[in-house]
Amino acid sequence: MINKLMIKMATWSTLVMFSLLPLCYAPLSAAQPLFNPSGGGIQSAKEEQDAVAAGEQTININTASANELASQLKGIGLKRAGQIIALREHLGGFKTIEQLQQVRGIGPIFIANNKHRLSL
């Protein structure tokens, strides 16, 4: 009796796993919503581009304060903003936006997500 129940459970869990597997590999289109952690909701890639086109401010990484960096960039808190400023002072100013990747925890995904907000 227990063995039959265990087999049914294993069969059911395998069925569920394989029925959900294609969803993991479905490509995203511009019309599909993306999770927006800073906004607490869902925002499509098109809506994000429209917000930028509508006049969302850019931030100069060579002059911005830690509070400005933390409030205007996605994925940055005050601690990381302080690290950006320390690197900026060490380098004597950023020459390229990609130099931000020298800060631990900032990589190409962060740069791609914030490129439209960043200026020198």
Torsion sign over Cα 53, 56, 62, 66: negative
Write down the pLDDT at residue 31: 46
0.85 exceeded by pTM: no
Q: Assign 94 a pLDDT band (cuts: 50, 70, 90).
A: very high
Q: Pick 87 or 22 by higher pLDDT.
A: 87
Q: What domains, with CATH codes, occur in the chain?
A: 33-119 (1.10.150)
Alpha carbon 26 to chain centroid distance? 19
Q: Give the Cα separation of 18 and 56 in Å (integer).
A: 43
Question: Looking at residues 22-36, what average pLDDT do you find?
Answer: 49
Position 95 confidence tier, pLDDT thresholds 50, 70, 90: very high
Q: Which residue has the higher pLDDT, 34 or 113?
A: 113
Query: What residues are paired with 43 via a beta bridge?
Result: 34
Residue 21 structure tokens: 């597997």
The pLDDT of residue 61 is 92
**Range with top average pLDDT, 12-21, 40-49, 80-89:** 80-89
